[in-house]
Amino acid sequence: MGVEYENFIEMKDIALDFETEESGNISEELRAEREWELPYVPENEVMRYFINLSRKNFSVEIGMYPLGSCTMKYNPRLSERLAFDSRIQYIHPLLLELVADRVQGILRIFYELEERLKLITGMDAFTFQPAAGAHGELTGVFIIRKYHIINGQNERKLILVPDSAHGTNPATAAMAGCYVKEVKSDQDGCVDLKELEKILTDKSNEIAAFMLTNPNTLGIYDKNIEKICAMVHEAGGLMYYDGANLNAIMGRSRPGDMGFDVVHLNLHKTFGTPHGGGGPGSGPVGVKEFLREFLPVPVIVERTNGVLEFDWNLKYSVGKMIGWWGNFAVVVKALAWLLATGKEVKKVSEDAVLNANWLKKKVMEFLDVPYPHNTMHEFVASAKELKKDYGVTALDLAKGLLDNGIHAPTIYFPLIVSEALMIEPTETETLARLEEFVEVLKNLVEEAKRDPEKVKGYPYNTPVSRPDEVRAVKELDVKWEV
C-alpha cells in the first residue's frame, strides 16, 4: 500500500547495481576488518556431514511418529515439488499488491484454499497471515477482543479454557491482554456443564470467549458441544475453536455448525505440510460473517469480472499480523494436498479415528487408559501403575520406544492425566506399523516389570540419551565437527 510501481522498478534497479558493482558501494564502516576464516571443505564432506547429522535425528521419514496433538503424518513429496516450482518460488510478494493482474495464479491459490477451508470448517472468511497455530490463536483473540470493544463491552476480557487445553490457549489469552479461567472436565473428559453454568452466571459480563478443542486433547468429542456454544453465546461470549488437529472430524462435522465463531487450523498438521524444526507453519483463521470486517488486512476478494485482488478496507480490521501475506509455500502445499485428496478427505478422518481406536484397544490390554470412551484421533494412556509398582515412568517408556525405532508419543500432557502418554497414529500408518508399535510398547511394559533398572536406563543406542532438555534449548550448542 502506498508503494508506487515506479518505486518498485527503482528498487529493482538498485538491487541490480548492487550485484554488478560487487562490494563497491558498501561504506567503509560496514566492511569486515579481516578475512573470515571459513573452513575449506570438499563438497562430498559437506554432504556427508549433513546426511550424518540428519541420521542422528528421528523423523517421520524414518519411522512411526505417534506424537499426540501434533498430527505427524506423511508429507507428500508431490506437494514439496509444487511449492518449489520456479513460477511460485521466484515471485516477489510485492507483485501481489502492485500488479495483481499479472500474478492472478498466485492469488488464485490463496483463494482456492480459502474456498475449501470454508467448506471444511463451515466458516465464512479466512486470513492466511498467521504463521503458526499459536499465532492464529493470537489473531483470533485480537478479533474477539476488538469485537467486544466495538460493541462497547471493553470489560469482556475473561477467556475460559478447559483443564485439558493445549498450553498455547491460556498463553495466547494472556498475551492478548485477557485473563484466564480454567473449566474442569467431568469424569468422561468433557466440559463439566455445571461448573460452566456457574462461571457464566458469576462472570456473565466479563466473558470474552471460551477456547475449546473438539475433540479435545484427550481425543474425546464433547457430546454437549452445541449446548456449550449456546450457553456461552447466551452470556455474551464468543466461541473459539482450536482446530490445530482437524484430522478427527474433517469431512464429517464442522466447527461452524457446532456453533463456533472463530477457528484456527494448522496447515502444518492436518493438511499434510511438514512441521519439524519449528516451522515454517501456517495457522489460518476463519470467522463467521459477522466478524469478517475484523480480519487482518489485506484479504483477497474476487471482483465481478473474476479478477482477484487485495482488499485493505475492512472497517474494524485488527491490522496486519505478519510481514507480507503469510507463509505462501505452506499454502501451496496444503492446497496440493487437498486437491490430491479430493473427496477422500472424509476417509482421512475416518482412518485417523480408526487407527487411534484400534491402537487404544490393544494398548488398554497392558496400560491404563483413564478416559476410554468416545475416542477420536488420539488417546491418552497412563504409566501411573508402572511407576507405583516398579518406579518406571512415562519418560522411561518414551525413551525405550526411541531405542526401538519409534518416536516417543507426547508425554506428561494433558496435565489431567498423571504419567500421560498421548498417542496419535494418524491415518498414514499401515496396520503392520500399528502392530509393530503395540508389540514394542508391550515388550517395554513387560520388561519394566521384569527388569525395571534396564528400562530406566533407556535409550542405549541413540546419539544423545537423556539431555537436560530445558538447558539444551536455552544453551544451544551447534558447531561444525567433521
Ligand X SMILES: *Cc1c(COP(=O)(O)O)cnc(C)c1O
Residues that bind ligand X (CB under 6 A): 69, 132-134, 166, 168, 213, 242, 244-245, 266, 281, 283
Minimum CB separation of residue 479 from ligand X in Å reads: 28
CA distance 246 to 227: 21
- The candidate with the shortest Cα–Cα distance to 334, out of 282, 296, 256, 263, is 282
Q: CB nearest ligand X: which residue?
A: 133
| Residue number, 106 or 159, with CB nearest to ligand X | 159
Burial letters 425-446, b for 16+ CB under 10 A, else e = bbbbbeeebbebbbebbeebbe
* CB of 244 or CB of 383, closer to ligand X: 244
Nearer to ligand X by Cβ, of 237 and 281: the residue is 281
Quote the least distance from Cβ 278 to ligand X, whole Å.
Answer: 9
CA–CA gap between residue 166 and residue 413 (Å, rounded):
9
Min CB(273)–ligand X separation in Å: 11
CB 11, min distance to ligand X, A: 33
Nearer to ligand X, 106 or 178 (CB): 178
Task: Spell out where 19-134 has E strands.
Answer: 125-127
Kindly tell me which of 79 and 214 has the beta carbon lying closer to ligand X.
214
Indicate the residue among 217 and 393 with the shorter CB distance to ligand X.
217
Q: How many Å apart are CA 241 and CA 218, to the nearest integer?
A: 16
Nearer to ligand X among residue 283 and residue 298 (C-beta) = 283
User: In angstroms, rounded to a whole number, what is the distance separating the alpha carbons of residues 331 and 338?
Assistant: 11
**CA-based R_g, the chain, Å:** 25
Give whichever of 103 and 138 is closer to ligand X, judged by the CB atom.
138
Is there a contact between 367 and 383 (Cβ–Cβ < 8 Å)?
Answer: yes
326 grid coordinates: 503469510
In sequence order, the β-bridge partners of residue 285 are 127, 264
Shortest separation between residue 172's beta carbon and ligand X, angstroms: 9
CB of 376 to ligand X, least distance (A): 13
**Are the C-beta atoms of 264 and 243 separated by less than 8 Å?**
yes
Residue type at 66 in one-letter notation: P
State how far the alpha carbon of 233 is from the alpha carbons of 18, 214, 259, 321, in Å.
Answer: 58, 17, 9, 27
Taking the complex as a whole, the smallest distance from the CB of residue 217 to ligand X amounts, in Å, to 6
CB closer to ligand X out of 375 and 393: 375
Burial of 372 (0-12, 13-18, 19+ CB in 10 A): middle
Neighbours of 63 (CB within 10 A): 17
Query: Smallest distance from the beta carbon of 213 to ligand X, in angstroms?
Result: 5
What minimum distance in Å lies between the beta carbon of 321 and ligand X? 13
CB of 276 to ligand X, least distance (A): 12
Please, which residue, 75 or 393, has the CB nearer to ligand X?
75
Q: How far is the CB of 265 from ligand X (least distance, A)?
A: 10
Strand partners, 127: 285
**Reduced DSSP (H G I as helix, E B as strand, rest coil) percent helix, strand, coil of the chain, to 5:** 45, 10, 45
Q: In whole angstroms, what is the distance from residue 276 CA to residue 245 CA? A: 16
Q: How far apart are CA 37 and CA 34, in angstroms?
A: 9
Instruction: Identify which of residues 67 and 386 has a Cβ nearer to ligand X in the complex.
Output: 67
